[in-house]
Amino acid sequence: MPSTTSTKPTALVVDDEPDICELLAITLERMGIRADTCGDVRTAREKLAKENYQLCLTDMRLPDGDGLDLVEWIQARGLRTPVAVITAHGNVETAVRALKLGAFDFISKPVDLQDLRKLVDNAMRLAAAQGQEGDTRLLGESAAMQDVRRMIAKVARSQAPVHISGESGTGKELVARMIHEQGSRQDRPFVPVNCGAIPAELMESEFFGHRKGSFTGAVSDKQGLFQAADGGTLFLDEIADLPLPMQVKLLRVIQEKNLRPVGATTEIPVDVRILSATHKPLAKLVEAGQFREDLYYRVNVIELRVPPLRDRDGDLFLLSEHILARLAADMQISTPTLGKDARAKLKAYPFPGNVRELENILERAITLCENSNITANDIHIKEGHTSISTSVTATSDLGDQLENIERDAIIKALQDARYNKTAAARQLGMTLRALRYRIQKLNIE
């Protein structure tokens, strides 16, 4: 029986081929990790039940079962040991099944020692990350948000690609950051990218980098987003907006873990965890031929749905109070209160723009209110919006529209007052400090 008093981290290697067990054990020992080995599922279960391993590395094919059986057994008993599965080379389906069942990661045969070291390093960092407090930025006491936080904690322990779905304004990027910050890559880069904001002709260069002289304007070597996220997490926001040719190239990099910068003759390895998000129904885009099915299954190994604000019972006023306190601190004013009529007006509204829209509405209200009391008249919402919008896309830019209206009003007031801010603030019915804050917030020159 292995000793439980060793101060070294310990890994369990499960493989019925003694040569592979020995190779993996030697590699782990050189990394300062004590290796324990066995050759079947039954013995592995016995060992896992007796000792707290920091990593379990198991082959798929074993005499009395397979690696997936062991993954399921570990998950069913709530053991915190991260388990990685050794799969046959190119067997993507098995790797995806393992990740869906709760495997920490996978590695293909023949085992590349450099890839193994990266996997082990991630597992050791995961142990250090466990037990940390949840992120208070994801506010909400509703059952829906408690489920989201539990799901974040679960998927953070894995290296599996996660697709975050939800309407615009629900906080998908915040969820992605929390997954990164609670996982083994927390001390490595988190690189968010809006896939819809990159021009198609520059997309390959932005993602994979380029070499000097590879095209007109390439005056020096440039690192791509994948390289910037190496060792960490790449968050592909609005992944549905990727053009089909780029989807093919992205799929290959995810599968091969290698990329070739534009103009380069050789490939370079990259180690990133992929998180993605979109407010569009990705499965329907696959059916319509607008999103590749093979890429869909690679990025959607685990799906995490962020609920809309209207489905978060009891969270509206908790969020409102937090947002108002933050805005007031930024503006260096006392936190205003929400009057009963203002609360009633907010409660009756379905918030098609979700939390982002709530923030925009409260930002406007705090600049309009008098005597630190927000009334219904200070709450400007879309008139006649008494039912939930069926088109998420149609409402996704609502926050931007409100900001544009407010920007135009401030600019007009400044022009009418010959750029006297005190007079403009008086005309707008807000304090000078509030006006200065809004000018800075809206980037008004």
Residues 75-86 pLDDT 10s: 888 888 999 999
CB proximity list for 64: less than 8 A, separation 6 or greater: 40, 41, 42
Is 23 within 8 Å of 86 (Cβ atoms)? no
Task: Out of 176-190, 206-220, 280-294, 351-365, pick the least confident.
Answer: 206-220
Q: What is residue 385's predicted lDDT score, i.e. its pLDDT? A: 52
Mean pLDDT of 424-438: 80
Is 16 within 8 Å of 39 (Cβ atoms)? yes
**Amino acid occupying residue 419:** Y
> Sign (positive/negative) of CA torsion 435, 436, 442, 443?
positive
Cα–Cα distances in Å, from 259 out to 218, 262, 329, 379, 411?
18, 10, 45, 50, 47
Q: What is residue 398's predicted lDDT score, i.e. its pLDDT? A: 56
Closest CA to 144 of 26, 10, 32, 306: 306
In the predicted structure, residue 404 carries a pLDDT above the cut 80: no
d(CA 53, CA 126): 12
Question: For the segment 295-306, what is each residue's pLDDT rounded down to a tens digit?
Answer: 999 999 999 999
The pair of three-digit structure tokens given for residue 390, joined into one six-digit string: 């069926």
Mean pLDDT of 349-360: 92
In the predicted structure, residue 445 carries a pLDDT above the cut 80: no
Closest CA to 101 of 60, 149, 131: 60
The model's pTM is: 0.76
In the predicted structure, residue 130 carries a pLDDT above the cut 80: no
Which of residues 394 and 385 earns the better pLDDT score? 385
Rounded to 10 degrees, the C-alpha dihedral 56/58/63/64 comes to 50
Question: For the segment 320-337, what is each residue's pLDDT rounded down to a tens digit?
Answer: 999 999 888 888 888 999
Mean pLDDT of 78-97: 86
Residue 93 CB neighbour total at 10 angstroms: 10
Tokens 């009963």 map to which residue? 340
CB proximity list for 167: less than 8 A, separation 6 or greater: 279, 308, 352, 354, 392, 396
Average pLDDT over the chain, rounded to an integer: 87
Which of residues 3 and 46 earns the better pLDDT score? 46
pLDDT band at 137 (very low <50, low <70, confident <90, very high): low
3-state secondary structure the chain: CCCCCCCCCEEEEECCCHHHHHHHHHHHHHCCCEEEEECCHHHHHHHHHHCCCCEEEEECEECCEEHHHHHHHHHHCCCCCCEEEEECCCCHHHHHHHHHHCCCEEEECCCCHHHHHHHHHHHHHHHHHCCCCCCCCCCCCCHHHHHHHHHHHHHHCCCCCEEEECCCCCCHHHHHHHHHHCCCCCCCCEEEEEHHHCCHHHHHHHHHCECCCCCCCCCCCECCHHHHCCCCEEEEECHHHCCHHHHHHHHHHHHHCEECCECCCCCEECCCEEEEEECCCHHHHHHCCCCCHHHHHHHCCEEEECCCHHHCCCCHHHHHHHHHHHHHHHHCCCCCEECHHHHHHHHCCCCCCHHHHHHHHHHHHHHHCECCEECHHHCCCCCCCCCCCCCHHHHCCHHHHHHHHHHHHHHHHHHHCCCCHHHHHHHHCCCHHHHHHHHHHCCCC
d(CA 69, CA 233): 29
Strands 258-259 and 268-269: antiparallel
Bridge partner residues of 65 (DSSP): 62
Mean pLDDT of 178-192: 93
Is 232 within 8 Å of 188 (Cβ atoms)? yes
The pair of three-digit structure tokens given for residue 113, joined into one six-digit string: 């020692």
